[in-house]
Amino acid sequence: MGGTFVSCIISHYRGFLEETADKTFVINPLLAQSETSPIQRVLEITRDILQETELAPALESIARGVRDLYGFGYVTIVAADATGGDHSRRVLLGYSPELIAERQHEIVRRADILDVLDPSFQVHPDCYYIPTERAFGWERAIFTGDLPMDATREAPNRWHENDALVFVLPDRSGEMLGYISVDGPLDGNVPSDETMRSVQLFVNLLGLALANARAHAAEIERGRILEASQAKLRYEATHDALTRLPNRTYFGALLEETLRTRGRDVSSAVFFVDLDEFKSVNDSLGHAAGDALLVTIAQRLRATVSDLDVVARFGGDEFAILARDRAGSDEIEALAEAVHAALLDPLDIDGRIVYTTASIGIAVVGDTYREMEAVLRDADTAMYHAKAQGRARHAFFDSQMHTRAARRLGLVSDLRAAIDEEAFDVDFQPIVALASGKIVGLEALVRWPGYNDGAGLAPLEFIPVAEEVGLVSKIGRFVLARSCEALAQWQRIVPGLGLSVNLAVQEILQPDIDAYVLDLLRRFDLRPHELTLEITETAIMRSGSLATNALERLRATGVRLCIDDFGTGYSSLRYLQQFTVNAIKIDRSFVAGANDELASEPIVRMLVELAASYGASCVAEGVETPGQSNALRSLRCTFGQGFFFHRPLHRDAVAAVLGGH
């Protein structure tokens, strides 16, 4: 583009110089005596302009051209922003160093130049020419900040007082207004109109060359900005804004490529990673803490996989890993174990220690897969299977999982309807004092009697699903309210009777759980110590300090706290040290043994003694025989619960049992 424009300038100048060769066109004598022709000099100046990226050096090239070609002793070029402001650029040639040092940094305002552009002046396209006979006081217009309006600055050859050329000059920052003042020709004569028109043409053409260069540079800059913007848009369209991991779209494209290029000697697999109890973190600490947790998890996952693998975030607490080029299932299994280990270490979120685990579903990319969506579907299905098996584990997809996944989808829909219709019920299993055999309390057990045409569904089948989809808190509050209502009636038969209710970790971590419990106690006129809230040891372990803080708030209400399934989480002693509990419940796996004996008498003895040392009572669950009851009593276990004493009873049957007691 620049070369074509230079050719255009040369063509214009050749014609102009031929027309004015025998007229009054003034050429610097030194230039005339040299081997350099005016056309060559114009070409040199134009090339200088096109090579400059800043305006000031380009203006200096124009000023030198005016001086060299036309023989002026002094040349001043000033350009000021046409868009407003005091920004200016100044070039002075032919003046003494002292004068240049004094004036090169002086400010020229846009208004000062516009004052010169009177409509009566002769106007040319993109260039304003002030005739020689028009005298004006540039000093007063330009330097009003230094001198009174009617004063004139003395300067050699009274510069700015004879002739000036005012022009419009585009710049990358916007349109520029500027002027050229040419003073003191070497021959001592005032420049003729012909010479000034020649100067006008010269400046006009070079101004167009400069504008062309600026437009070309601006086009390149616009292209760079456009390319950067497009790259940013592409990145944002394929990456997660929070974790900066690839998103589902990008992951899917890579998976499709893997399906097309997979080899026979290597294996690839898709891991679908879903965090356990993430909703509890969001509910208890807020979404900012939840975001911080997700960012940390993303960093740990990236640090665990190889450079060939891809980690993506699909949304919420769902991540995916594309494990590529594995030698076989053993290496895929090893990666799953490494992911579990990476998530095992506690996380510090806003000064609170949080423990997190993940359920992982794995689909090996074999020859049977043709579509990306089928792989993702099967990995997702395997993940739900892993979560149903107890969480914090992984599972490989198999064909039987489709049937279970369809059943689970129907179960979730039925759960939502059952909550809206309050279709759940509550049974109660008595807790007895082992020394006397008297009923001292009851444990509430949720039931879903109407499911599957009245066949019912065991809590172990629907409660884990309710936890996964965030419905367990609604079910839990229903059970707690119904149980407190029933206890208020039974206490008319057995004053001081206690009630135990299991709470899932999502219920415990509800911000208003303590207020809700206090409201129920007031509503049914119950004393706080008559209500015992049970939470499993594994749930406490998964939630870390979040559960600890929530349980302390509940303890402040005066209710009793009990750790359920005590001894199965391998952290029993640590939790007894962390916060005070009123009771522990020994898991049935240590109690219900064969041949009328305890399954593990040494462990039961240790747990009873451990609880006693911390001032907590023991409840042994799963007592099924007289021998087990006697053994527990001899070990000084305080309370027992199980089929040997009573099976779970419907609410209507509890009153009869209590009355006969």
- Write the DSSP symbol of residue 314: E
Tokens of 500: 């135990």
Residue 307 scores a pLDDT above 80 = yes
Distance CA 38, CA 656 (A): 122
Mean pLDDT across 252-271: 82
Higher confidence at residue 589 or residue 402?
A: 589
Q: Which pLDDT does position 626 carry in this prediction?
A: 93
Q: How many CB atoms lie within 10 A of CB 318?
A: 17
Confidence of residue 244 (pLDDT cuts 50, 70, 90): very high
Q: Are 178 and 80 in contact (CB under 8 A)?
A: yes
Q: Which pLDDT does position 91 carry in this prediction?
A: 61
Distance CA 243, CA 344 (A): 20
Confidence of residue 474 (pLDDT cuts 50, 70, 90): very high
Q: Residue 345, SS3?
A: coil
Q: Are 553 and 514 in contact (CB under 8 A)?
A: yes
Give backbone dihedrals phi and psi of 620, rounded to 5 degrees, phi first: -95, 120
Q: Which pLDDT does position 528 carry in this prediction?
A: 95
pLDDT, tens only, 102-161: 666 655 555 555 554 444 444 333 344 433 333 333 332 222 223 333 333 343 333 333
Confidence of residue 424 (pLDDT cuts 50, 70, 90): very high
Q: Residue 62, SS3?
A: helix
Short-list 355, 316, 300, 314, CA closest to 509: 355
Q: Which pLDDT does position 154 carry in this prediction?
A: 40
Residue 619 scores a pLDDT above 90 = yes
Q: Which pLDDT does position 409 carry in this prediction?
A: 79
Mean pLDDT across 474-498: 93
Distance CA 413, CA 653 (A): 32
Give backbone dihedrals phi and psi of 549, rounded to 5 degrees, phi first: -65, -40
- Write the DSSP symbol of residue 158: G
Q: Are 466 and 415 in contact (CB under 8 A)?
A: yes
Lowest mean pLDDT among 54-68, 84-98, 627-641: 84-98
Distance CA 517, CA 494 (A): 22
Total length of the chain:
661
Work out the percent of the chain whose per-residue pLDDT is above 90: 34
